[in-house]
Amino acid sequence: MSEKSSPIKYFLSGGFGGVCTVLAGHPMDTIKVRLQTMPLPQAGEAALYAGTVDCFKKTVQKEGFKGLYKGMSAPLTGVAPIFAISFFGFGLGKKLIKSEDDQVLTKSELFAAGAFSGIFTTSIMAPGERIKCLLQIQQGGSGPQKYSGMLDCARQLYAEGGIRSIYKGSIATILRDVPASGMYFMTYEWVKEVLVPEDASAKLKMLATVVAGGCAGIANWLVGMPADVLKSRLQTAPEGTYPRGMRDVFKQLMEREGPTALYKGVAPVMIRAFPANAACFVGFELAIKFLDWAAPNL
């Protein structure tokens, strides 16, 4: 990443990178949420989905390929500001940590700047995730569906429980995003540093961006996956299912399914993580180069 670019350029470029992320990764995100939230089978019954491939096949058979993009309006609407704020937070975090403009940050300082960015995004991320998950778990078919779309879902949530219902799962979102964002940005900077020599060609730098972005996405989800599972279950459960919030979700999950359930849906997450986040950082780097050229004083 450009060390000379301002947080404002990080904000604008991060928004463009976020749009690239959603377009590349939403289908596998839908599979992830459906695997995480499928009901436990009764004795003698088969699970609703046998795994990632089975969930993919059943979704396409019942709903067509458009079923894989169900709920995309919520993250696509929110993702530009979310990623913009995330990258802005990272850029600002680096500025706050540096005592001199040319100071090279350590890995722990990069992690801290990335974790700082995770705090910024919750105000938009939490309601967007709540709406996205509720839309994603709706199964296609001939019967009526509870929500007709993003706005209808938000309207019904507000009618049921006010703004508190829309922001349900905010603490879980923070617990996921703060450490995961730290790992995300630290991994990207570290991998790119390892891969790119000082005299690297433009082609090699772009290839390094793809690899570093993909690795950052995988590292992000290895750290954030357990909290994401708890968040998905909390946000999609009927009101009153978990009176004490995440503590009840965690307790029930451990009792019924064991610790491996904290990584339920990990296969589609990892399949999605590399290309989606590679697309994000390619979009970011291209946008920031354009802004450095078009608006050097911004």
Inform me whether the pLDDT recorded for 275 exceeds 60: yes
Q: Where are the alpha helices (DSSP H) in the chain?
A: 7-37, 52-63, 73-97, 107-120, 122-136, 150-166, 170-195, 202-236, 246-256, 266-294
pLDDT band for 141, please (50, 70, 90 cuts): low
pLDDT band at 143 (very low <50, low <70, confident <90, very high): low
Per residue, the 3-state secondary structure of 152-201, as one string, reads HHHHHHHHHHHHHHHCCCHHHHHHHHHHHHHHHHHHHHHHHHHHCCCCCC
3-state secondary structure of 143: coil
pLDDT at residue 138, rounded to an integer = 82
Q: What is the pLDDT of residues 166-218, one digit of tens each?
A: 999 888 889 999 999 999 999 999 999 999 987 888 889 999 999 999 999 99
- pLDDT exceeding 70 applies to what percent of the chain? 96
- How does residue 279 score in pLDDT terms, banded at 50, 70 and 90? very high
pLDDT score for 214: 95
Can you tell me the distance from the alpha carbon of 36 to that of 264, in angstroms, rounded to the nearest whole number?
6
Mean pLDDT of the chain: 88
Residues 231 and 223: their CA atoms lie apart, in Å, by 14
**pLDDT tens per residue, range 15-28:** 999 989 988 888 88
Q: Which two tokens stand for residue 49?
A: 């989905």
Instruction: Read off the pTM.
Output: 0.78
Q: Decide if pLDDT at 77 tops 80.
A: no
State mean pLDDT over 248-256. 93
Cβ pair 207, 191 in contact under 8 A: no
Euclidean distance between the first and the last CA atom of the chain, given in angstroms as a whole number: 16
Residue 139 has pLDDT above 70, yes or no: no
| pLDDT category of residue 153 using cuts at 50, 70 and 90 | very high
Q: Distance between CA atoms of 220 and 179, rounded to whole angstroms?
A: 8
pLDDT for the residue 272? 84
Lowest mean pLDDT among 52-61, 115-124, 218-227: 115-124
